[in-house]
Copies of this chain bind each other. A is one copy, B any other.
């Protein structure tokens, strides 16, 4: 086996565990005799040839840090052919054998685009808190975001119980309900509004009203917490709060978790996933694979063509949906028996 020259970059929204993944790539590479460089600011660094050498010492003690030591950024001009050609030129000048891209689906589009103009191997690693990438059970950062959202719901419940109030908690997820579903189950929320289950606003309001009645009967006046995925309620969380105040006659407090969900020290599951994927990506480089994303399925590393990661839509797993409906939204709401 020849020694490889590997480049890595992080792109798109940052996610906890990206550093753990960079570290795994570097340490695994070094153990096999490969060398690694990192491009700064996502694809921008590829265009400006802004890079630095990475070795074990440089990635020591970064596994626990949020964000990304390589920085991230959007890079709209990378869609153009000229950009991809320039990137290819830089990669060739540096004699790079493989480029590893840690990011979300936008980043993977960029990787696929580059592959049209460059002969080296291009491999994607899924890094986003939204877990909205087809072909992998989990994405780097997802587990930490669940934990942060859950911790916040735990805190809100302290106050909600003290005042016996209704709270609305908006979590991220872009257009997918993974984060909302898990935060709601782990946070013991009482209702969850997700893209995958959403019909229309009136049905949702009716269901909440009905669920609240059941809740009051079972729990008396304990708190009632609703988790909502961002970008879903047409007029926003404040409008939903107002509508629920009208509906229930009580106070409803909205909380938008926002950017704290993207940061923080990665939890163990994200560090392990990031390490597993980083190690596997290095193995793929050794085997000259290209145009793929490495992911995890049933606890095993898997490889799928980059195109499939965005051409298919990942569904909430059936056990997750079943658990959620049983514990939160009562299956009969949805005609599920």
Q: Chain A: residues with CB nearer than 8 A to chain B? A: 10, 13-14, 16, 23-24, 27-28, 30-31, 55-57, 60-61, 63-68, 71-73, 137, 143, 146-148, 150-152, 154-159, 161-164, 167, 182-183, 185-188, 218-220, 222, 253, 255-260, 262-265, 267-269, 271-272, 275-276, 279-280, 298-301, 317-319, 322-323, 326-327, 330
B residues near A271, Cβ cutoff 8 Å: 150, 185-186, 188
Q: Is the CB of A155 within 8 A of B262?
A: yes
Distance in Å from the Cβ of A282 to the closest Cβ of chain B? 8
Counting every copy of the chain, the complex holds: 4
Instruction: Determine how close the nearest CB of chain B comes to the CB of A23; give it in whole angstroms.
Output: 7
Contact of A299 with B319 at beta-carbon distance under 8 Å, contacts A162-B14, A260-B152, A263-B158 already known: yes
Where chain A touches its partner, the secondary structure class is: helix
CB-contact partner of A65 in B150, B158, B256, B319, under 8 A: B158
Interface hub of A16, A272, A301 (most chain B Cβ within 10 A): A272
Q: Which residues of B contact A156 (CB under 8 A)?
A: 259-260, 263
Residue of B nearest to A146 (CB): B268
With contact pairs A272-B185, A299-B319 given, residues A55 and B255 touching in the complex (Cβ less than 8 Å): no
B55, A157: Cβ atoms closer than 8 Å: no
- CB of B159 within 8 A of CB of A14, answer yes
Q: How far is the CA of A187 from the CA of B61 in the complex (A)?
A: 10
**Given A10-B162, A57-B219, A299-B317, 11 further pairs, Cβ under 8 A:** A24-B327, A63-B188, A71-B162, A71-B163, A143-B269, A151-B264, A186-B272, A275-B323, A279-B322, A279-B323, A299-B319
Taking CB atoms, residues of chain B closer than 8 Å to A146 are: 268
Chain B residues within an 8 Å CB radius of A150: 268, 271
Among A24, A30, A143, A319, the most chain B Cβ lie within 10 Å of the Cβ of: A319
A-B contact pairs, 8 of them (CB 8 A): A28-B327, A31-B326, A61-B161, A182-B268, A275-B327, A279-B323, A279-B327, A300-B319
